[in-house]
């Protein structure tokens, strides 16, 4: 990555407009402008996507990870619902965005809550007015709060009765003792049921986390840099800072394997979930990046294990590996559905042997090269629309506060060697670091 030449920089240093970062090195193919206001609000303006379209994505660096108060899990997700309730100025958010023909929605996970609109660029100022207003001036009465709490309880009940929602809850409860990754995004059942009485707490939640220092706007699409920066300064500069980060409990080191069998109250084949404690996300740490590559070469769709269990021997319905890294140290997960209930132990042993193999042997050089290439070009091929460009930045923004780490991440990826993969396996794919949860169909009881 490089910036304007020093002579040009000297000419522009006193200008009020931020400079455009020009991309000459690194994987990220688009120029962008970074705007940072005095109150801490940050916006990235990326010209990319189809003419006449914009994707307006507000990224809140708060998720279920930040829910540290006893009995208050699930509020980050709950606030995703409340943010569509409107303000005094714009009391009917859905009606306004529908008239624009905008696609809009939101989602919450461990580390984030993200709100987005995709619309014609003719609505840019109206969208900015609408979004800045609801982030600063959200209003809802207690009856509306209670109504939405009931909707969230229904969502919890629906999720908890699906096999993988049920399994996810049990895996987290088993794997974590103190860290807030112990509860799912939607929260513990008792906390969700108690939400209708949390009206005053919810007001404080909004004041604490929905502050300019904790939110990053990524605007991708077709717009004018100078005019858009003017609008950002007009609509976001009056937002008062005051973000108070949570003190996240530190998870104690796991020193022995954990094992649990849970009965799902419905029909299911056995599902085996093998989980290792992994590192937190980092663009510069080769061990962290190598761990993500390890998940693909050892357990991904091109791995020997996948070919054997899924394609050749047909022992399992599927085999999936999630080695995506969270903001804090989370789980590296291998999940599979075993066709024959009598072969669960056999499948688990195959997973164990694979972990042992990658601790002892070097990964095939061609497989490693192909995997790194697939990751790199998968990222590039995903940058097709304004929305996909903005969404492609979410992980970098949530983990670092900006998008600058994109190029650093892919430089680190390029440097990962077979020795790095083996070292990652030796560091993380250990029995004492492992939590195994087997979900089986509940037995019929007379």
Q: How confident is the model at residue 6 (pLDDT cuts 50, 70, 90)?
A: very low
Query: Could you give the strand order of the β-sheet that contains 258-264, starting from the edge strand earlier in sequence?
Result: 258-264, 434-441, 271-277, 331-338, 316-322
- Do the beta carbons of residue 293 and residue 375 sit within 8 Å? yes
CA nearest to 172, candidates 65, 45, 79 = 65
Q: How confident is the model at residue 78 (pLDDT cuts 50, 70, 90)?
A: very high
CA nearest to 116, candidates 255, 15, 17, 220 = 220
CA nearest to 405, candidates 416, 394, 415 = 394
Q: How confident is the model at residue 158 (pLDDT cuts 50, 70, 90)?
A: confident
Q: What is the mean pLDDT of residues 201-214?
A: 95
Q: How confident is the model at residue 130 (pLDDT cuts 50, 70, 90)?
A: very high
Check whether 337 has a pLDDT greater than 50: yes
The residue to which tokens 């990220």 are assigned:
28
Give me the phi and psi of 331, to 5 degrees please: -110, 140
Check whether 444 has a pLDDT greater than 80: no
Cα–Cα dist 375/292, whole Å: 10
Q: How far apart are the first and last CA of the chain?
A: 68
pTM, two decimals, is 0.92
What kind and span of H or E run contains 105? strand 103-108
- Do the beta carbons of residue 167 and residue 51 sit within 8 Å? no
Q: What is the mean pLDDT of residues 82-109?
A: 95
Q: How confident is the model at residue 22 (pLDDT cuts 50, 70, 90)?
A: low
Q: How confident is the model at residue 18 (pLDDT cuts 50, 70, 90)?
A: low
434-441 and 258-264 strand pairing? parallel
Q: Which domains does the chain have, with CATH numbers?
A: 6-236 (3.30.830.10), 258-441 (3.30.830.10)
The SS3 of residue 174 is helix
The tens digit of pLDDT for each residue in 412-438 reads: 999 999 999 999 999 999 999 999 999
Cα–Cα dist 302/73, whole Å: 38
Q: How confident is the model at residue 160 (pLDDT cuts 50, 70, 90)?
A: confident
Locate 27 and state its tokens: 């994987």
Q: What is the mean pLDDT of residues 330-341?
A: 98
């Amino acid at each position: 990555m490089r910036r304007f030449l020093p002579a040009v920089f000297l000419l522009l240093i006193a200008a009020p407009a931020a400079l455009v970062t020009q991309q000459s090195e690194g994987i990220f193919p688009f120029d962008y402008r970074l705007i940072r206001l005095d109150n801490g609000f940050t916006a990235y303006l990326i010209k990319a996507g189809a003419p006449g379209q914009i994707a307006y994505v507000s990224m809140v660096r708060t998720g279920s990870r930040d829910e540290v108060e006893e009995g208050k899990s699930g509020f980050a997700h709950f606030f995703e619902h409340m943010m569509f309730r409107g303000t005094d100025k714009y009391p009917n958010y859905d009606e306004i965005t529908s008239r624009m023909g905008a696609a809009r929605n939101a989602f919450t996970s461990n580390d984030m809550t993200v709100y987005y609109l995709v619309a014609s660029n003719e609505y840019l100022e109206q969208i900015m007015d609408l979004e800045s207003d609801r982030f600063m001036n959200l209003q809802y009465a207690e009856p509306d709060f209670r109504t939405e709490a009931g909707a969230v309880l229904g969502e919890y009940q629906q999720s908890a009765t699906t096999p993988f929602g049920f399994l996810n809850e049990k895996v987290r409860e088993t794997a974590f003792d103190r860290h807030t990754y112990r509860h799912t995004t939607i929260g513990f059942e008792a906390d969700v049921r108690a939400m209708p009485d949390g009206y005053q707490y919810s007001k404080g939640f909004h004041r604490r986390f929905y502050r300019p220092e904790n939110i990053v706007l990524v605007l991708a699409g077709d717009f004018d840099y100078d005019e858009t920066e003017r609008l950002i300064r007009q609509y976001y500069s009056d937002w008062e800072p005051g973000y108070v980060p949570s003190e996240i409990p530190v998870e104690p080191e796991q020193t022995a394997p954990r094992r649990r069998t849970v009965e799902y109250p419905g029909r299911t084949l056995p599902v085996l979930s093998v989980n290792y404690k992994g590192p937190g996300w980092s663009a510069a740490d080769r061990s962290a990046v190598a761990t993500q590559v390890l998940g693909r070469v050892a357990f991904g769709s091109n791995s020997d294990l996948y070919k054997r269990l899924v394609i050749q021997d047909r022992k399992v319905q599927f085999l999936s590996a999630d080695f995506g890294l969270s903001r804090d140290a989370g789980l590296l997960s291998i999940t599979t559905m075993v066709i024959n209930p009598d072969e669960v132990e056999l499948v688990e042993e195959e997973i164990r042997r694979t972990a042992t193999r990658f601790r002892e042997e070097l990964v095939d050089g061609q497989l490693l090269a192909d995997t790194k290439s697939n990751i790199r070009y998968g990222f590039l091929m995903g940058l097709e629309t304004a929305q996909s460009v903005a969404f492609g930045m979410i992980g970098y923004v949530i983990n670092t506060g900006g998008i600058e780490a994109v190029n650093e991440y892919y430089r680190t990826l390029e440097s990962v060697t077979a020795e790095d993969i083996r070292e990652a396996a030796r560091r993380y794919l250990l029995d004492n670091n492992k939590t195994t949860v087997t979900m089986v169909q509940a037995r019929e009881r007379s």
